[in-house]
Amino acid sequence: MGRKNQKKKMWNRKRKLEESEDKSKKDRKPYVKCISSNPKMEAYYAAIGLHATQKSGPDSKDFKPCLSAEDMEAERVKFITCMRTSLRASFRIAQNIEEEFREHLIEDVENFVGTEIEIEVDEEGNAVSKARGDATMDVSGTDTEGNVTDIDAGKTTLKKLAPAKAIPYIPDAYQLSVDRRTIRRNPALQNFHEWLKAQTDAGFVTRQETVSMIPPVVLSPEPHHAVLDMCAAPGSKTSQLLEYVSSIPEGGTEPEGFVVANDSDAKRAYMLVHQLRRINSPASFVTAKDAQFFPQLLRGENTTDEERAQEGLFDRVLCDVPCSGDGTGRKNPGIWKHWSQSAAHSIHPVQVGIGLNGARLAKVGGFICYSTCSMNPIENEAVVAQILRDADGSLELVDKRKDMPNIVARPGWTKWKVFGESESKRIKKDRQKKNNAKMKKRRKEYEEKQGNGKSLDVEENRVVDDTQEEETKEDPWSETPDSWDENYLTTRAALQGLIEFKTFEDVPINHRHHIRQSCFPPSAEEVDKFNLERCLRCLPHDLDTGGFFVALFKKISPLSARAKRKADELARANSDKYDFRHSKHDKNESKPNQNEDIVPEKSSEGIPSTELSKKKKGGYGFNNAESFVTADTSLLHDLSDFYGFTEEFTNSQFYSRAGGKSKILYYITESVKKNLIDRGIQDKIQVINSGLRGFERRNKDDCVVNYRPCQESIHYIAPHMSKRKFAIGPKDFYNCLKRGSNAAIPCESFSEPICKKLRETSLGAFVFVLEGYELDISKKMYMVMWRCRGDAVNCLVCEAEMNGFKSKLKAFTGIGEDIIPFNNNIEMHIEKEKNESNEEPAQTTFSNIRDKCIIQ
Ligand SMILES: C[S@@+](CC[C@H](N)C(=O)[O-])C[C@H]1O[C@@H](n2cnc3c(N)ncnc32)[C@H](O)[C@@H]1O
């Protein structure tokens, strides 16, 4: 093609791009506030008694029944008002970082958001966006009472926001008085946002919803524990669990515990790997499998009697199951639009199946946590009751309230009403037709002729009330029920298509596969036995959070053969009905295999086609083409020689996923190898990832050993290195940090002895460690470097980790600078308050609250 034509094509492409950008700008709809309302959801929750209990006193953590209609209405209003405000953002400081450094980060938090902050708001009190001048965010209810500052700044004013609060039942966690969008977009919070991003990238801080932090704290694994997270993606709870098991025992060089993070959706499991990379721990093992079929990991003939007696491998199991998610309405507007009671019934059997398999996989004496972000008893207490029923006395519920003294959580319910949704597909279609403008008009005319505004759909036993539908469209949440009488509330629910079934026998036979016996409340005898009140029910207005449910089981004996059979049957029935097995590996499987021992599958049936094709190309293991296999021995020998490892170390801890001279060698902990790989986990399920990248092959062939260590695992590998490792002082360390990632750093810029050593070092990778931290591995002060051809070295550390090093170096030695200096205005503000009141400004310290927050 001639040059002229090429240019023409390029200009055409550019023009088209500009046109499409212009078009998309024009088409961009203005920000419209989503109405958080759903009449059916409101009618359902009122009818099943969500507003029937209240706090015993304003600061009480106990609850009592609402005895009057006024009390119930007050409860409803509190609930609704809260549900309609946007969710406050929250974050926590990682638990696996050094105490000294944690204190430093807490100080940063105090400086940034520990005092009242003034932010710019528009005339309606909405926070002003820095990205789009016209867009505004809802921060209503976040200001300190009546404290709107009357400073005129054109159309905007300054409004004082309450300081961040330490979350009293989660260690080192904070809840802000603004939502995520405001943090992202308001200029007053820009520095704090930058700080938050940098610390998140470095793995020291995790932005996580407050209630989502509860299950790992309830489980509180010990550092040597084997933990299973059955439904793990996107991984916020997994990273929290990983922090518990990532600590290195005294005298050791790696964690003893591990977390298996599983999700049925392989794509989501890959996202999980990305999320966990921040934590930089080798103690994770990511798999993709329907949790109902996650296998028992016995060791065939080598299984000991003790292992058989314990039944499961895991000390802690988290079942954060898929759910309708109606507790997340404060951050997910879609919940309001799409809520349906059927969703709870549909997901209920899968939730029971996952919980039961979790119980089977736990050790006797271990704990299983069941959690959902739904408020619906069908997904909560009904599931817990069925798990207890099927487990036949092997499990008991544990009340964690006493270990989390400041948590406000309502007791689990022992009775509830069961509703079915009357809307069949046909009825739904009809209703959509009715809402069609033309149909509506005709219908109105017809009904006027009939002389009333209502018609009864006899077939479906459903009252259709158009006038009501019109009214509720506006703002159904602000509508007080005419009466709090139970019968009235049930009828009101019927108006929304919700039909109550008093007993299972009332459920029409053709609906019983959907509305199951297990959805109904337990019998009086079971109520006494199950102790459902020990569950934690978190309602949004109790702690200004999302809605959440948590139950903790203790496994007191192995599951009976009958219980296991039941679990198998349920899982099989569910897998026939629902396609939760997103992974390619799972889709070819139809039988649960919990009771199998590790017999590698011999047949080639059930192998994903991609894996088969890989086999044809590469000729490696067919069960799991991505299996971890011990790396090439000659390569490991060369590595040991060049970096000074013992061969025992390299031979046992480096794996490749493709065999031969693969691009990456993975570093896997002894405990992951012994408990998972050696037990044949790879023969049973799809393994997505494990360990950390230990060595990476270089494309250039200019060095004796063409593999360089990776920064992500260097803290675990370097203690075993006896060659090419240099301890340097803080100034030399900072010298590398200030130059940035991959920049050439002249040898002469280091102190004289280090410069001399560097000049004597041959081409290739080496490691710097901060003096005094050689054996203090948990502080992670190792850096991967490269000796270049000229008189220079490179620092092979990415930008995010460089920032992390800067923060730590400043905290440990006082040298260097903080990555994001905090807002000077706030400093001035504290100073001003101090001068005015001659005492410390209120709420500037979190330490008091932190002291109370030691989880036992
Ligand atoms: C509530 S989310 C889990 C959230 C996660 N624990 C966290 O804290 O980030 C539920 C997850 O379960 C997965 N899932 C759905 N059905 C599953 C099944 N049968 N087995 C395993 N995972 C499943 C979904 O893909 C989804 O990622």
Interatomic CA distance for residues 827 and 470, integer angstroms: 53
Specify the pLDDT at position 846.
39
The angle that helices 425-435 and 437-450 make with each other, rounded to 10 degrees, is 90
For ligand 1, atom 18, the nearest C-alpha belongs to 290
- Could you give the percent of the chain with pLDDT greater than 70? 76
How would residue 23 be classed by pLDDT, with cut points 50, 70 and 90? low
- Ranking 11-20, 174-183, 753-762 by mean pLDDT, the lowest is 11-20
Residue from 211, 229, 263, 267 whose mutation best tests the ligand 1 pocket (most atoms within 8 A of CB): 263
What is this model's ipTM? 1.00
Three-state SS for 598? coil
Provide the terminal-to-terminal Cα distance of the chain, rounded to the nearest Å: 74
- What are the start-end ranges of the H helices in 531-655? 540-543, 561-577, 584-587, 609-618, 633-643, 647-653
Query: Does the annotation place 65 within a ligand binding site?
Result: no
Specify the pLDDT at position 504.
96
How would residue 794 be classed by pLDDT, with cut points 50, 70 and 90? very high
Statement: residue 838 has pLDDT above 50: no
For ligand 1, atom 15, the nearest C-alpha belongs to 322
How would residue 3 be classed by pLDDT, with cut points 50, 70 and 90? low
Structure tokens at 182: 């405001």
369 lines ligand 1 (CB under 6 A): no
pLDDT digits (tens, 9 = 90+) for 451-504: 443 333 323 333 233 333 333 344 545 578 889 999 999 999 999 999 999 999
Specify the pLDDT at position 316.
98
Structure tokens at 756: 């001399």
212 lines ligand 1 (CB under 6 A): yes
Interatomic CA distance for residues 20 and 246, integer angstroms: 49
- Ranking 74-88, 276-290, 413-427 by mean pLDDT, the lowest is 413-427
pLDDT digits (tens, 9 = 90+) for 707-754: 999 999 999 999 999 999 999 999 999 999 998 887 899 999 999 999
- Contact predicate 309/699, CB 8 Å: no
> Per-residue DSSP letters for 200-259?
HHTTSEEE--TGGGHHHHHH---TT-EEEESS-TT-HHHHHHHHHH-PPPTT-SS-S-EE
Q: Cα of 237 to ligand 1 centre, how many Å? A: 11
Query: Does the annotation place 233 within a ligand binding site?
Result: yes
How would residue 321 be classed by pLDDT, with cut points 50, 70 and 90? very high
Q: Which fold has domain 211-414+523-579?
A: Rossmann fold (3.40.50)
* Residue predicted with more confidence, 645 or 430: 645
586 lines ligand 1 (CB under 6 A): no
Tell me the average pLDDT across 218-238. 97
Buried b (16+ CB within 10 A) or exposed e, 466-498: bebbeebeeebbebebeebeeeebbebbbbbbb
* Residue predicted with more confidence, 150 or 516: 516
Query: Does the annotation place 353 within a ligand binding site?
Result: no
Specify the pLDDT at position 34.
59
Give the ligand 1 atom nearest the CA of 263: 22
209 lines ligand 1 (CB under 6 A): no
For ligand 1, atom 1, the nearest C-alpha belongs to 322
Q: How many CB atoms lie within 10 A of CB 633?
A: 11
236 lines ligand 1 (CB under 6 A): yes
Interatomic CA distance for residues 753 and 728, integer angstroms: 10
Structure tokens at 165: 């609060």
Query: Does the annotation place 263 within a ligand binding site?
Result: yes
Structure tokens at 688: 């997505």
Statement: residue 345 has pLDDT above 70: yes
Specify the pLDDT at position 463.
29
291 lines ligand 1 (CB under 6 A): yes
Residue from 237, 242, 264 whose mutation best tests the ligand 1 pocket (most atoms within 8 A of CB): 264
Q: Cα of 341 to ligand 1 centre, how many Å? A: 20
**Sheet bearing 654-656, strands edge to edge:** 629-630, 654-656, 664-667, 692-697, 707-709
- Ranking 41-50, 525-534, 559-568 by mean pLDDT, the lowest is 559-568
Report which DSSP code applies to 502.
S
Query: Does the annotation place 320 within a ligand binding site?
Result: yes
pLDDT digits (tens, 9 = 90+) for 681-703: 999 999 999 999 999 998 777 78
List the one residue out of 783, 697, 696 whose CA is nearest residue 745.
783
* Residue predicted with more confidence, 700 or 350: 350
268 lines ligand 1 (CB under 6 A): yes
Statement: residue 190 has pLDDT above 70: yes
Query: Does the annotation place 237 within a ligand binding site?
Result: yes
Statement: residue 654 has pLDDT above 90: yes
Angle at 365 between CA 360 and CA 367, to 5 degrees: 65
HEC profile of 30-43:
CCCCCCCCCHHHHH
Phi, psi values for residue 262, rounded to 5°: -120, 145
* Residue predicted with more confidence, 537 or 443: 537
Q: Cα of 79 to ligand 1 centre, how many Å? A: 27
Interatomic CA distance for residues 768 and 785, integer angstroms: 7
Statement: residue 186 has pLDDT above 50: yes
Specify the pLDDT at position 119.
81
Give the ligand 1 atom nearest the CA of 290: 20
Quickly tell me which residue has 């920064």 as its tokens. 711
Non-local (6+) Cβ contacts of 112 within 8 A are 191, 192, 195, 822, 823, 826
Interatomic CA distance for residues 14 and 21, integer angstroms: 11
Query: Does the annotation place 232 within a ligand binding site?
Result: yes
Interatomic CA distance for residues 256 and 356, integer angstroms: 27
> Per-residue DSSP letters for 59-112?
T-S-EEE--SHHHHHHHHHHHHHHHTSPPPPEEEE-TTS-HHHHHHHHHHHHHH
- Catalytic sites, residue numbers: 373
Specify the pLDDT at position 633.
87
380 lines ligand 1 (CB under 6 A): no
Q: Cα of 263 to ligand 1 centre, how many Å? A: 6
Angle at 704 between CA 656 and CA 647, to 5 degrees: 50
Average pLDDT, the chain: 81
290 lines ligand 1 (CB under 6 A): yes
For ligand 1, atom 13, the nearest C-alpha belongs to 231
